Structure 1
């Protein structure tokens, strides 16, 4: 939690807080005065009385008047109740109904005054009462989340106690408050607890939002500085001439984004600060080529590089890709959990002697007996699949600390400057020349024959097909197609000599064998779960069929679709689904309308929310009290700009 009052006095030292109350506050995770200040209201009820004659139909309003009839209480099924009376409100004879609040019968007295908050039905001239207001003071009724551990009035007294007797010694910088017309933090927080008007409440929220976003960006800047160690030892004086000559020998021309990304990384090499960069690009955009060119830069001065990947399948894919592209220009080896003892011993010896330029490895590289001669470039692919400790263990093996994280999951800009805001970012949006966008269509299970016919067309032309299902076994609660059922239906249509079957519960050797049969084209149809989402590359595959597509998020669907479209031939993705909700149907429509991974990532973020986006919750994404990463995106950018500017004026800037 933020510390605006230091030292943070424990709640047990506040006036009127005994052991019992302190215990209840601790249950709410409130331990000191700062926690009290930032335990903000969850909602506000405007108690400002509205003239019923000017009220809009369907609006939630506060009205007052005289109770004209004795309230009638009726009970019906399962203890539900309805309390009804008529009131004279602004000269209008109005029916007032309270559901499931029978205790209000004793509070509504004919001939006496009452104030009611609820929803107004202008057509029926009826108030659906939500609460009877006994506090007739103007302003807002503030509601807190207290889990029924204490009354709101008790908590409000504690909040007022803190404001009255404790000094706020932390605030936004004065120039920022002036520039963005923000209040002091104390004034804004006071207004959130004790609001005076809608306009003041809005201004207070705006101030606290900026404070939260700015504080988080400042933390990222501190983390960024800690990651980038300044030392002339980190300058990599690679041979620019050799690197340029090598690039001219490549059998293809780099895209503009690839050239920019190579320049970004090579510029980092020449600086006296350790590199900490994220390279993000859609599936098939050519991130591997960019990384390989930079590995070659290290090769020109005899220093080593490593690529760490989360799976053996992905390690094999990278190994074959690097070998094919760089041939004899780089000495490349791979190290995985299935590497034999004899082979591992040979590799480790060559690694220690500096005879290996590039090691492609899984978690096996983290073992203590793996030692490099001069490791100066660490590439971590699909970095969100590794824990912080694993990444740090690999870093400790380096001679010069330069780290490039790669991801094929396009990250929305909002998350890029929060979850990854401590890194420099390079983005590859362009696809290599000759690649055609994958044509995506959506069909229901009633059209399964059509889907099978489309697969047959690809087989007849000599091409392969992926088929993905969300479950391994039948579910008693979900009506979903499972891998076993789909496998048998495809075998019935195409035969066992054509169809292979893999899933996540298989032993690694079984799974790898199944994928190998598909990669070598011995089998032309691969039935699987999302185990193939990352790490298999079969350019011959031109069709992806995804069953129960409504069960997947947009990012996962896009990752799966990215398994095809890896050659110059037109490829296809068929979504088979029976969406039961508007949200699911919208996902199908979005998938068929665009193949731009970055556009999809933005839509996915809007639909799923930042907390659930590809496990970002584990990536240090903050949980703000008032700010919202999607709604307050523009403010986030301004806060980041101001945080960077603040650090640029400090001594020893990053």
Structure 2
């Protein structure tokens, strides 16, 4: 076959493919096809199954493809406006069928009395008629194959280039034999051929299954390779902490750890004893106790006289962590905080103690990556809500480390499939259990015309000495509209409760104004806080038992859950009211889901199903792979199998000891 044209390699320029001239090469390049490989991996966008059916098995009004013998000379009737009707009779499976084509008079020359024909159209079983849509002359297994070609060429033309590449290309992609046998997969070349030129539904399904696995496996291999490059074996990485001191410390805590907390601590501490840098993600729903886990691990590092840094995206969250660590660990850990508002004198004192090794744990915002922040021996870096930091910011802090061990924490429950694809190069620990005594937040959905009832519900809680959050939506990410909206809501509540009871926070405020407003709410000076989503992460007011979210349909499930997580942070019963008229089916479904469960991981899976992986984090994640055939939400079991096989490759090639 290859004697007809030069044998080409997969990465050869598209202009050297048989039949592709300079102009056609430009057209192909305009749709992202530059190499021979790109041609065969430019897969069909859809198929129309035109497989021949037995007319005896067809139902009334089915679209069918039939074949048989033309029994009469076609006749044409013309009407006003140039419209026409072509009619003939055919013998199809022993049934005498009338076939009609509207406005296709040129088919008269193709339908020859006494000869074979194949017709696609709608079958009227009662009248034994087929309203023909097209004659079929050239199909593969009865499929009309369609491509996304941006109107640069016909599908038929592109298929010739695909054929030319298959005929002349020296193929260099395949899966290992043991995986093909284990999962009953085709050769990659064979699978691609059947996707472009399908024989039947079964073969097409198997071909697509093969390419799905190939894509997921190759992606996981690339993550494993990245993981291997980032993790270098060296005895220096071992944190040989004092196990007995750590156990004694844990026994002094005023509460018992949940099973998930214990397991997460064990996983992290096991990492510490390995001669490889830790790279772990700690996922935990809001209020699940990630801070306790982080504190215990910080204490483990302290037992060998070394330091921990916690980097957070906002000053509010830095304050929250600082208070949480100091309250929980008292004098057991030396904790300091460094943010953009830390005074010069205070900062100088902190930096000196940090260099001397007198600080066990430094919590801060981006201020931690400044050049003058020098640690004595930084051996554990904890990054909270790491997706809010750029790669450069994270790596700049890592370069300060004496032993590079990184723990990423997130309060955003991430669906397992996204965890494998976006954080696939990390080990993952998950905290699903909530601490004892926590009661699920009761969630209700109310319409806007029930706002008076909502105000009464809030008043009942406030009169009982409790606090409430009132959240206004961020509309099209416009601070102007946001400000106008939040102020309108503030006036409603200020008029109802009095200005002395209601605090206002919004995105236009300066950082110190936000901190001041938040402090008045935290100290219970103000019992009602009207705010935008600035309170989504990092605010901890155990006295707050009520939340109202206006225009709740404007938020994704994960954001609503994060907001709801600001209440229910004590043993008091808490409530969340979603105010929305929810005009669309999608919005109604979200309200129903939110009122039916408080499990953040279940919600994250539903959110992924509804929004798709690209928009899960609210903005398109550049790190998410774009697969040709695979779908990480539908093919999650295959994704997990592909990951397992990729991990096996890593281990067998020396990725673990």
So what's the TM-score if we normalise by structure 2?
Answer: 0.91
Hey, what's the Cα distance between the residues in 1 that align with 2:127 and 2:485?
A: 52
Given the alignment, which residue of 189, 198, 201 partners 1:186?
189
Hey, what's the Cα distance between the residues in 1 that align with 2:300 and 2:653?
A: 33
Is residue 228–residue 650 contact of structure 2 (8 Å, CA) maintained in 1?
A: no
Deviating more after overlay: 513-522 vs 280-289: 513-522
Corresponding residue SS for 1:289: helix
**Pairing 1:431–2:434 present:** yes
**Pairing 1:16–2:14 present:** no
**Pairing 1:536–2:536 present:** no
Question: Which residue of the partner structure matches residue 371 of structure 2?
Answer: 368
Question: Which residue of the partner structure matches residue 70 of structure 1?
Answer: 76
**Pairing 1:570–2:573 present:** yes
Question: Which residue of the partner structure matches residue 305 of structure 1?
Answer: 308
1:598-637 map, 5 Å: 598-615=601-618, 617-618=620-621, 620-637=623-640
Question: Which residue of the partner structure matches residue 336 of structure 2?
Answer: 333
Question: Which residue of the partner structure matches residue 554 of structure 2?
Answer: 551
RMSD across aligned C-alpha pairs, in angstroms?
2.7
**Pairing 1:422–2:415 present:** no
Structure 1 residue 96: Cα displacement: 5.8
Structure 1 residue 425: Cα displacement: 0.8
Corresponding residue SS for 1:223: helix
**Pairing 1:400–2:403 present:** yes
Deviation string for 1:74-130 (max 9, x for gaps)? 88xxxxx997665646446668687xxx6x454467975875545557679776766
Structure 1 residue 7: Cα displacement: 5.6
Deviating more after overlay: 11-20 vs 356-365: 11-20
Tell me: CA distance 1:349–1:152, structure 2 relative to 1, closer, same or farther (3 Å): same
Is residue 473–residue 483 contact of structure 1 (8 Å, CA) maintained in 2?
A: no
Structure 1 residue 69: Cα displacement: 5.7
Is residue 70–residue 110 contact of structure 1 (8 Å, CA) maintained in 2?
A: no
Hey, what's the Cα distance between the residues in 1 that align with 2:615 and 2:39?
A: 28
Question: Which residue of the partner structure matches residue 255 of structure 1?
Answer: 258
Is residue 212–residue 630 contact of structure 2 (8 Å, CA) maintained in 1?
A: yes
Hey, what's the Cα distance between the residues in 2 that align with 1:650 and 1:488?
A: 65
Structure 1 residue 599: Cα displacement: 1.0
Hey, what's the Cα distance between the residues in 2 that align with 1:94 and 1:231?
A: 81
So what's the TM-score if we normalise by structure 1?
Answer: 0.92
Deviating more after overlay: 85-94 vs 626-635: 85-94
**Pairing 1:236–2:242 present:** no
Tell me: CA distance 1:136–1:327, structure 2 relative to 1, closer, same or farther (3 Å): closer
Given the alignment, which residue of 434, 441, 445 partners 2:448?
445
Given the alignment, which residue of 115, 139, 153 partners 2:156?
153
1:30-429 map, 5 Å: 30-57=33-60, 59-63=62-66, 70=76, 88=89, 90=92, 91=95, 104-107=104-107, 115-118=118-121, 133-135=136-138, 139-429=142-432
Tell me: CA distance 1:479–1:644, structure 2 relative to 1, closer, same or farther (3 Å): closer
Structure 1 residue 157: Cα displacement: 1.3
Hey, what's the Cα distance between the residues in 2 that align with 1:528 and 1:189?
A: 54
Is residue 218–residue 643 contact of structure 1 (8 Å, CA) maintained in 2?
A: yes
**Pairing 1:522–2:525 present:** yes
Hey, what's the Cα distance between the residues in 1 that align with 2:421 and 2:477?
A: 40
Hey, what's the Cα distance between the residues in 2 that align with 1:83 and 1:496?
A: 77
Question: Which residue of the partner structure matches residue 78 of structure 1?
Answer: none
Question: Which residue of the partner structure matches residue 3 of structure 2?
Answer: none
Deviating more after overlay: 499-508 vs 396-405: 499-508
Corresponding residue SS for 2:287: coil
Deviation string for 1:297-329 (max 9, x for gaps)? 111111010000011100010011111111111
Is residue 233–residue 275 contact of structure 2 (8 Å, CA) maintained in 1?
A: yes
Tell me: CA distance 1:652–1:114, structure 2 relative to 1, closer, same or farther (3 Å): closer
Structure 1 residue 59: Cα displacement: 4.3
Hey, what's the Cα distance between the residues in 2 that align with 1:248 and 1:382?
A: 29
Structure 1 residue 331: Cα displacement: 1.2
Structure 2 residues without counterparts, runs of 5 or longer:
1-7
Deviating more after overlay: 34-43 vs 66-75: 66-75
Structure 1 residue 17: Cα displacement: 2.0
Hey, what's the Cα distance between the residues in 2 that align with 1:474 and 1:277?
A: 32
Is residue 52–residue 63 contact of structure 1 (8 Å, CA) maintained in 2?
A: yes
Deviation string for 1:511-535 (max 9, x for gaps)? 2222222111111111112121111
Structure 1 residue 479: Cα displacement: 13
Deviation string for 1:463-497 (max 9, x for gaps)? 1111112146999xx99993222111112211111
Number of residues of Structure 1 aligned to a counterpart in Structure 2: 639
Structure 1 residues without counterparts, runs of 5 or longer:
76-80
Corresponding residue SS for 2:421: coil
